[in-house]
Amino acid sequence: MNRAVPFIAVGVIVGAGLCVNDSAGQLRREVNPPVRDTGLDAHETHAAATLLGQFRTSISSWLWLRTDLYLHNGVQMRPLSDAEVRAGVKGLGSHDNEDKKLHDDAKITTVVPASDRDFRGWMGDVERATQAFKDMRNHGHRDPKSALPLFRLMTWIDPQFIPGWTVGAHVLVSGNSPEGLERAVGLLQQGISHNPESVELYGELGHIQAVRWHRFGLALTSLERARQLSLRRPVPEDEDGHDAVRDTYRWLALVHRELGQLGGMYDAAREGAQRMPDDVILRRLANPPPSPLPIARQQAWLKALAETAPPPEH
């Protein structure tokens, strides 16, 4: 009996893990009730989801950091410290970092310093030889698509991890292929099914529908939904939440403008500028009248609207 105990323990643990995984799915459906004013998310409203949520949040956050690492092929990067920025130390930059969705390479440097910035002598040389290290000035990245399974893993472990959905969709559309677009939209819609009150997801959906798909009617619907959701609580103070609300208003105003709905553009921009008075773009959109669209372009939008059949509603 004593010899069987370890195997029984392993079996119990594995079985419990499988049961928890199965019941967690049911918990997810139960803990997405209508909006409450307190603004608590699912991780904080149900005891088991809280315990699981904290663990899942930690794992998904850890995966997020690892994704950044893999995109740099294992070279560990870190943001410049305030002291370094004040001292004029420059980030390494990259040649393919036009979109700063993942990180801003102009403000990061390697965790392991280059030899000219390392006081440790031979220890530093050894570390540069044992770690994944190379000169990262103006570096490139691995194809972000290689990280897609990780994004998928993040969202499976923690469906409430919004960056997993948004960045995953961003990666899918980066190739500009029709298949990528379809998959990105499908991914975001799946994320919305787990997070029906997420401003970021509706905002990203609207952004892709507008910019990549040119389906402005759909984009308007998505962005409008994002706007309504954002009105239910104050503008978030965290960078991601704040940017999501800001981008929602910006894209909403621009989509209205593309559709020739100047009134809608002003309303959206003014409301956004009122909520975020520091945003220059929203203030500009809210105030002077925009230049009229060229006639040819107006006709092209109207033709596109008439020809494009909206996909089935999600």
Interface residues with another protein (CB under 8 A)? 6, 9-10, 13-14, 17, 21, 63, 66, 69-70, 73-76, 78, 81, 83-84, 86-87, 89, 111, 113, 117-120, 122-123, 126-127, 129-132, 146-150, 152-153, 156
Cβ atoms of 136 and 92 within 8 Å: the answer is: yes
**46 vs 134, beta carbon nearer another protein:** 134
Q: Is the dihedral of CA 286, 205, 240, 88 positive or negative?
A: negative
CB atoms within 10 A of CB 308: 14
**11 vs 178, beta carbon nearer another protein:** 11
**63 vs 201, beta carbon nearer another protein:** 63
Q: Identify residue 152 by its one-letter amino acid code.
A: R
**36 vs 156, beta carbon nearer another protein:** 156
Instruction: Look at the block and give the residue holding tokens 């009730």.
Output: 33
Report in angstroms how near the CB of residue 70 gets to another protein at its nearest: 5
**23 vs 298, beta carbon nearer another protein:** 23
Report in angstroms how near the CB of residue 85 gets to another protein at its nearest: 10
Report in angstroms how near the CB of residue 221 gets to another protein at its nearest: 32
Structure tokens at 305: 């609207």
Report in angstroms how near the CB of residue 143 gets to another protein at its nearest: 10
Cβ atoms of 269 and 302 within 8 Å: the answer is: no
**118 vs 267, beta carbon nearer another protein:** 118
β-strand partners of 79: 108
Report in angstroms how near the CB of residue 231 gets to another protein at its nearest: 37
**26 vs 130, beta carbon nearer another protein:** 130
Report in angstroms how near the CB of residue 78 gets to another protein at its nearest: 8
Report in angstroms how near the CB of residue 59 gets to another protein at its nearest: 11
**102 vs 245, beta carbon nearer another protein:** 102
Report in angstroms how near the CB of residue 117 gets to another protein at its nearest: 6
